[in-house]
Structure 1
Amino acid sequence: MDSRGRPPQHTFFYPMECYQPQLVEPLNCLARAGYGDVEIHLHHDNDTSDNLRAFLLNATETLNRDHGLLSRDSIGDLRYGFIHGNWALDNSHPDGCWCGVNDELTVLRETGCYADFTMPAAPHPAQTRMINSIYDALDDPDTAKSHDVGVPVCINRDRPTDSLLMIQGPLVISRPNWRRKPKVENGNLSGSQPPSAFRINDWLRAGVCIEGRSDWLFVKLHTHGAQEANSAVLLGDAMRNMHRGLKESSERHGFAYHYVTARETAQLVTQARLGVIDPDFGSLTW
């Protein structure tokens, strides 16, 4: 449990090109039981803006109508978080594959995407120049990889018009000890990258935060949760030890830590942007 007595949260970004209701519903059961949430993941290639727009609108409607998933904003429109398959958001792969849509940020925003959570991608070539950041990306519909740079979110500063919120995870060069070669720490949890106390330090060292609110550190981790090789890490002793270590460190050093979903993370960013902070996370709104 975190500092509020809440269990760890996992946001399942379901690949909607593979939609099967009998696979989504068990995830929905976990969400209803208080263990996380479900948002949208998508793999596509050689796509068009119109096709992507129609697909996303149908996907959000399906998840909401058939499973009661996703959130709505103050005027009742469906909102969703997004992770792009193969990291190729906004046609960012240098070979032009695994997307095809140069105005993808616009399509996402106009179909209800509240934030993108794709990054980091390193060592993949789709990695952006902007790292360890929470920022607003402005789309250039004629150019790929518009999210390569952006405007960092700052308290009491308005969101740029027609921008899409980008929430990145940690990306640093790690060297566990002097005997080992440096390697990329990208927040991936897998069979080959289990959690550890040293990795927690790297995640915090990345310093992902909102300008003017440096006392809040955001640590967004990711995994390919449906791969069997990762199950021993995600559901085994390595993960249990990580959570125990967080609790012990919190008690020893006097800091609070909070498990939140992707949606709640974006809502906290929105609150910080407006300078309206609810320390108990009791009334999160868009």
Structure 2
Amino acid sequence: MPPVRIGTVDLPERLERERYFRELSYLELSALFAGPLKAAALAKWTQHPATDVVDDDDDDDDDDQADAQADDVNGDEVGGRYDEGEPRGLGLIAPWVLTQRQPPKAARLWHHDATVGDFRDSALGRSALVAFRAAVTTVTASHAIFPSPALFAPSMANRDRLKHFFGEVATAETVGATRVWVPDGLWEPRVAVHFASELGVVCAIDPLVYDPGNPGEVYEDLEAPALYFRVGGLGRAGAIRTEKLEDLAALVERYQDQDIDLTIAFASPSRWTDARNFKKLLEGAA
């Protein structure tokens, strides 16, 4: 069966990157979501996510902080517990001016006006996209993540906007990495995955979120060349229960049998524990 990338959304607090990549093979970073980083900081980022990665999940308060975080990248090479054939990767969340109307709380933001966000085509959005592509190239990112704003419904107008955005603005050539679209919860998973395939992007879904009106099989037999499982916290503060992880492992094995490329990023409150527990569970079932 093909291997699976497993990681977390942002580096867990007080966790050294060396230890992180001894355990996990993927990391999704929000370093460029709020605002740009200095070119000097980007130049010091790792060229290979399997060896060194900067921890930049907090707001970029000022240039000194960005430089300090970037300087910390140049450490010893990180070993790993994965085979050399195992896929590894680094995902970058796209600037908010491409996907959101409301800015995040941060001291340093992308230049913005009333035209940005919501997957609209704007001059300031395109400018941020150029900087984002430079970062993707610098860190050799495997994925670029585009999260939908809240209440981004599956209306015809929004579908047309997404078609224009991924077809004319954030194209595969412009972004330079596998594009991942995170739909709002208003989208039915099967519909979202099918639409993402039409757009030529990978759909991110949370397979542990169940609608009481829909059976659990809603996440089975999804037709796509690749899937991105972004696992949330299920409204709990602690670690995800073993039975839930077992359900996820069974689903992953089903897609592995179909040779579908899989990336799993835990965004749960105990994401470090959840990701490692899931990795052990999946290895035990192999």
Which band: TM-score by shorter chain?
Answer: 0.3 to 0.5
Name the TM-score, length of structure 2 as normaliser: 0.47
Q: Per chain length, whose mean CA-contact separation is higher, i.e. which structure has more relative contact order (CA < 8 Å, sep 6+)?
A: 2
